[in-house]
Structure 1
Amino acid sequence: MTMSLEHRYAFAYGAIFLAMGTFLPYFPVWLESRGLSPYEIGLLFAISGVVRMGTMPVIAYLADRAGAPVRVLRVLTAVTLVANLVYLATGSFWPILAVLMVMTVFGPPIMPMTDALAMRDSESGKLVYGRARAWGSVAFIVANLGVGAALGSLGPDLVIWVIVFGGVLNFAAYFLLSDQREGDAEISGVGRVDLASAVRLVRSPVFLVFAFAAASVQATHAVYYAFGTLHWQSLGLSDSVIGALWAWAVVVEVVLLWKAAPIVARFGPAMLIGLAGAGGIVRWTIMAFDPPFWSLPVLQCLHAMTFALAHLGIMQFLVRGVPPQLASTAQSVYSALASGIVMAGATYASGRFYEDFGGLTYLAMTALAVLACGAAFLGHRIWNGGRIDG
């Protein structure tokens, strides 16, 4: 029985998010088991974010120059698979940093490159992007719940082994896909990137304001991603409960994304990002004061705003405001900004503050959410709704 193209992408997304759903909540737990302090954990994530900012667009550009993104993805997944195995031989800050740098160069381009390929095939009618992408969120939930339930009995090294397993599946997934050279560049820009035009695009004030606004909303998750699990553990929550809380946030996110069409039709990109920032103000302010357990599932519902609305907002802006031939370039640059310098700065600050203030560090994320709302409002004022001249 032959797998449809949609199922092949679903398999790739599932593998990516199986690893991601383990890495985000539980990699800090593994780092702590190796004796790293909160400051060192925050520093690792911050350094990784800064390096990612420079390397992710370069790797994506080189892949486009090569004209064979799937073959490049096979190389990237092979290198990251080996690097994840090497984690098991490390035991202190500097060796872990060395492995993380390899991961930072070769790992982050995998997701935006896969998105660019999937969006290209979706635009040509070969698959429904939302259905394929949804399986990634399902895998994320499975990882949250499964690893959370087993972590206490199997130990922190389980985190690395699950990430490695996801890497094996991810490596295999790209052998189910193939490079299609005919007409690819005409569909979405994949396979033909004009570097000079990309530079002009990212220097556009409109692009920069929208990218900064959305990236800032995403960066408000820095404390949650780096220290959320550790903080909940310090409050006495079990690993399985913590995994369930992470999973519940993603369930609500998936529901919103699945029902997103009327929301996107009603609100413009700036409003979506502004609403996401408003959700962040509420979510992180309350989280700073260690609310009672019964309120945590309610607060986790706000992940649908702080993550999903911001994602929908910037994706709509990229579709409506960026010339089609620069769509994949803009996506890679935005991804580098969102997961790079803005997130890196927020994560570094989180590590510094968390050692001294614990959960009150969430208030710094509240301040960043306020800044994101301001940027979204500015974007609404300066963008005329048309294409940016790349």
Structure 2
Amino acid sequence: MFRLTAKPALSLAYFAYFGVLGIFVPYFGLFLDGRGYQSAQIGLLLALVTATRIVGPALWGTLADRTANPLGIMRFGAGIAIVAWLSSLVDFGFWPLLLGFAVFSFFWTAILPQLEVCTFHSLNDDTGSYSKIRTFGSIGYIVLVMLGGWLYQRFGSEFMPGTALLFLFLLLLSLVNLPPMPPPPSKDQPKLSFAELFSSKVLWQFMAAAFLLQMSFAPFYGFFTLYSRDLGYSGTLTGLFIGLAVLAEIIAFYYAGRILQRFSFRRLLACCYGLTVIRWLMLAFVADSPWLLALSMLFHAGSFAIAHSCAMQFIQQFFPKAQRGRGQAFYAGIIYGGGGALGAYISGISWQNGLGAEQTYVLAAIAACFAAILAWCLPKQMPKAALV
């Protein structure tokens, strides 16, 4: 079978993976609203689907370590995710849809943590090269966000299931064509017990900050397209707003390696989280101005791209090489799973079908503010587990 070389194959995998998210994340709320669900139901569905990401990454990370076959785990997860996604093509009601998306989300979690580990192995832990390959994920996201805005305006919210399905197949195809990855670290490499790793105050402080930040993103991921519609913006303009955020993200990812080398980890992370506070307050109070809303979208460069690059660097340096797979899984489960689920549930209650939009984004800003304080209190130097 034809095989791409490592960098093009990894770039295509990121493009397809985040292309699916470019349809799913911004337009899922509109899709559910189009099916007639209330904001509390949308929040519950988002929370339960996101909650599968708490246990999923740890399970898949353990299987990948024991089988020494992360590619097989990723391919299996993508295949079952496609089958589960088929439940969205026909409207069978809320509970079947909830079950279908819960299964989809659980198997979807098998992909990204292992993809991140394989990428760092292939690049010999070069953060700068990683950021450039990760940029293709942002490109996939922005392409689908822009395309989605046009499709929504032309065909309505039911465009989402079929369009995402096409990119799910592209993802599976890219994973099938990934070349063999470097062998996993040998068993005789130094390891620390997980009790030792997780007794670190620095690790839990970092995780708490990232958890709060991810909570703060929940109303943006779950309700921004509905919010934009309620403010009178067209589907195309909404796509442009999101596309502007991802364009800023792409540029930030491209230069992330240089930025991380130049600035203190602690100050950089606290600055990114502080920008997020301003971003959510702008959404709460000045989103009716298209120019100010567009300006707030540029903050995505810091609040997501640079913050994510900092987090990946933390995981790579804190965890011993033989345990980075589980470290990535732990981060994905606790932060994206737990933080995303709790944030989605709170947002669903606070949103009140749009009447509570302002207070919801204020709550998000408060969560981001506490995250920034915790980040500022981290050590000045990037820690290693053996030293903490």
Given the two structures, how large is their TM-score scaled by the length of structure 1? Answer: 0.91
Q: Partner residue of 2:155? A: 154
User: Mind listing any 5+ residue stretches in structure 1 that lack a counterpart?
Assistant: none
Given the superposition, is the C-alpha separation of residues 270 and 367 from structure 1 closer, same or farther in structure 2, using an over 3 Å criterion? Answer: same
**Which residue of 272, 291, 302 maps to 1:294?**
291
Alignment of 1:208-287 (within 5 A): 208-287=204-283
CA contact (8 A) 2:19 2:141 kept: yes
Report the secondary structure of 2:285's partner residue: coil
Report the secondary structure of 1:237's partner residue: coil
For residues 10-42 of structure 1, the C-alpha deviation after alignment (integer angstroms, 9 at most, x for no partner) is 111111011011111001111111111111111
For residues 76-112 of structure 1, the C-alpha deviation after alignment (integer angstroms, 9 at most, x for no partner) is 1111111111211234221111111101210122111
Q: Partner residue of 2:42? A: 41
Given the superposition, is the C-alpha separation of residues 47 and 195 from structure 1 closer, same or farther in structure 2, using an over 3 Å criterion? Answer: farther
Code of the aligned partner of 2:366: A
Q: Partner residue of 1:115? A: 116
Code of the aligned partner of 1:184: P
Report the secondary structure of 1:123's partner residue: coil
Shift of 1:196: 7.9
The percent of aligned pairs where both chains have the same amino acid is 26
Q: Partner residue of 1:371? A: 370
Q: Partner residue of 2:328? A: 331
Across the two proteins, how many residue pairs are aligned to each other?
A: 383
Shift of 1:198: 3.5
Q: Partner residue of 1:29? A: 30
Q: Partner residue of 1:359? A: 358
Report the secondary structure of 1:186's partner residue: coil
Given the superposition, is the C-alpha separation of residues 198 and 184 from structure 1 closer, same or farther in structure 2, using an over 3 Å criterion? Answer: farther
Code of the aligned partner of 1:134: T
Output the aligned Cα RMSD. 2.4
Matched, 1:322 2:323: no
Code of the aligned partner of 1:385: P
Given the superposition, is the C-alpha separation of residues 290 and 384 from structure 1 closer, same or farther in structure 2, using an over 3 Å criterion? Answer: closer
* Separation of aligned partners in 1, 2:192 and 2:257: 34
CA contact (8 A) 2:22 2:141 kept: yes
Code of the aligned partner of 1:185: P
Given the superposition, is the C-alpha separation of residues 193 and 167 from structure 1 closer, same or farther in structure 2, using an over 3 Å criterion? Answer: farther
Regions of 4+ moved over 6 Å: 191-196
User: Mind listing any 5+ residue stretches in structure 2 that lack a counterpart?
Assistant: none
Given the superposition, is the C-alpha separation of residues 149 and 293 from structure 1 closer, same or farther in structure 2, using an over 3 Å criterion? Answer: same
Shift of 1:172: 0.9
Code of the aligned partner of 1:177: L
Given the two structures, how large is their TM-score scaled by the length of structure 2? Answer: 0.92
CA contact (8 A) 1:193 1:326 kept: no
For residues 217-248 of structure 1, the C-alpha deviation after alignment (integer angstroms, 9 at most, x for no partner) is 23321111000000000111011110111111
Shift of 1:202: 3.0
Shift of 1:192: 10
* Separation of aligned partners in 2, 1:323 and 1:268: 22
